[in-house]
Chain A
Amino acid sequence: MKTPTILSAALLSLTITSTLIARQVDTTKLKPFYFEVNDYVEENEHCLRCHGEVKFLLEDPALDRAVYEHMCPDRQIDRDAYYSAVHKGFSCTDCHSYDFNTFPHPLEARLEDSYECLDCHGYDETFAQYHFEDIAQEFQESIHNMDDFTCWKCHNPHSYKAFMRNADDLGEAIVYDNNICLNCHANFSNFTLLTDRAEINVVQSHEWLPNQASHFSHVRCIECHTEINDSILIAHKILPKTEAVKRCTECHSTDSRLMYTLYKFQIKKERKAGFANGIIINQSYVIGANQNLFLNRLSILVFLLTFLVILLHTFLRIRNLKNK
């Protein structure tokens, strides 16, 4: 009894597969910029006509039946995001098995190991400037080094943008970066996939921080939650919360930590004259870190002059009193 069941299932799969492959891809509704950045848009549409939609049509020509199925959010690919991301030029099958061309996708393909960053970027001169090996080392030492935690948990390969090093609008880059953290740390259903820890309330746990909203929108979480590393562009060694920066003057001082973290990429750009750590004030203002050196000197000079006049006046009054 079992053999006919398997046979009929295989037949059904074959029918659906052939239907999917045979169906023409309509590329007329796609945005022109996709074609500018990717040579495989048409090929990718074989995947994205289902994975690029909230729902997809599941057809069974043998029984002449068709139903709309909901595409699981984890399996959805946003075309705009994909064709704007770091991997925008790729074909789906550059990273995924060709077996995914068949539908229903075979179990072997679905269970295959995903590539890790180092599989492509590691030990390759082309990417040497990004120090992926050091990033991997930092990750190993990070508290994120736990079961099932891979690069992809933070850097979605279908949408990740290297925002920070190309940021024209730092504010936008900060929001983008912080959302990567908040995707788990402020979303318990994602958080619980990786840990059994109790739910974190980010707002509550940062209640000690003055002007919390301003901090959240002007600096990245990793400014305080990672160890500074000069050899890589963005620090990846996430520290335990007990080791996170809590001393305000780490940033609010002329030797501000922000210059080695958030503003590392901007340092070479134009600085606003006269201000300590002047590059910061292109985007923000940090009390203590952004003293205006000219005003500092002027204020000390004016104060000393005033004080001298008072001393001189006092001296003359005392002399006058003695002469009376």
Chain B
Amino acid sequence: MTNHKIYLYPVWIRIWHLINALMFLLLIFTGICLHFCGTGQTLIPFNIGVGIHNTAAIIITFNYGVFVIGNMITRNGKFYRKWRKNLVTNLWKQFVFYAVGIFRNEKHPFPITEKQKFNPLQKFAYVIAMYFGMPLLILSGLALMFPGLTGYSVFNISSLVFYDVLHIIVGFVLSLFLLVHLYTCTLGDKPGTLFKSMVTGYHEEHEAEE
């Protein structure tokens, strides 16, 4: 067995990721509480839920700014920008690996290297989540936080309804993303290996010697 260690997660990424993860969990929890609040006992009082949700939202918005700017000025951005050829074929290959190959102990079709931090499915999902989902979530959230700034109606329905439903849908999709993200992070050499990488900054891989 050989042990490969690649430094993939610089400090700023790890701090950004930690803040993003904590705030996102807080937002999901308070978001669900606010959405399903009833007249009886609630997990947290509505006004406190609103306070926590808004505070976490402001923090995650600034944190998102750090992510975007960080990716513009550091080499981390190229992991999101540079795409392999044959995207659809690669996505399918990766999907088949997760669905079948992983149980046949097949070799990973797109092993992690210093140049390719993400496999095609990961990259595709991250780009959608971070460059489409997050801006939509943040903008719809801001529209709800400052309802006076938005028009009275959008697409012939109340702007509040539009932004709230959009916020809830995108929030739900990103929550699903988080669930799948957490699970796929257990797909390393050992279930905790990839989580450890996000703490130490090093991606570790053990390969059997031929």
Q: Which residues of A contact B (CB under 8 A)?
A: 208, 210-211, 213-214, 247-250, 252-255, 281-285, 287-288, 290-292, 295, 299, 302-303, 306-307, 310, 313-314, 316-317, 320, 324
Contact = CB atoms under 8 A, between A and B. Distances in A.
Contacts of A284: 158, 160
A316 B100 CA distance: 10
B158 A281 contact: yes
B161 A252 contact: no
B34 A285 contact: no
9 contacts: A211-B145, A250-B39, A252-B46, A253-B38, A282-B158, A287-B144, A292-B165, A303-B176, A314-B183
A285 B161 contact: yes
Interface string B39-51: 1001001110011
B18 interface: no
A211 B98 CA distance: 46
Interface in B1-40: 34-39
A245 to B, nearest CB: 11
Contact of B158 (A214, A283, A299): A283
Contacts of B157: 281
Given A250-B39, A288-B37, A295 B164 contact: no
A302 B105 CA distance: 29
Interface string B129-155: 000000000000000110110000000
A248 B45 contact: yes
A213 to B, nearest CB: 6
B38 A255 contact: yes
* Chain B binding surface SS class: helix
Given A248-B47, A287-B34, A313-B183, A255 B161 contact: no
A291 B35 contact: yes
A248 B50 CA distance: 10
B37 A316 contact: no
Contacts of A290: 161, 164
Contacts of A213: 148
B88 interface: no
B180 interface: yes
Nearest to A292: B165
A217 to B, nearest CB: 9
A211 B147 contact: yes
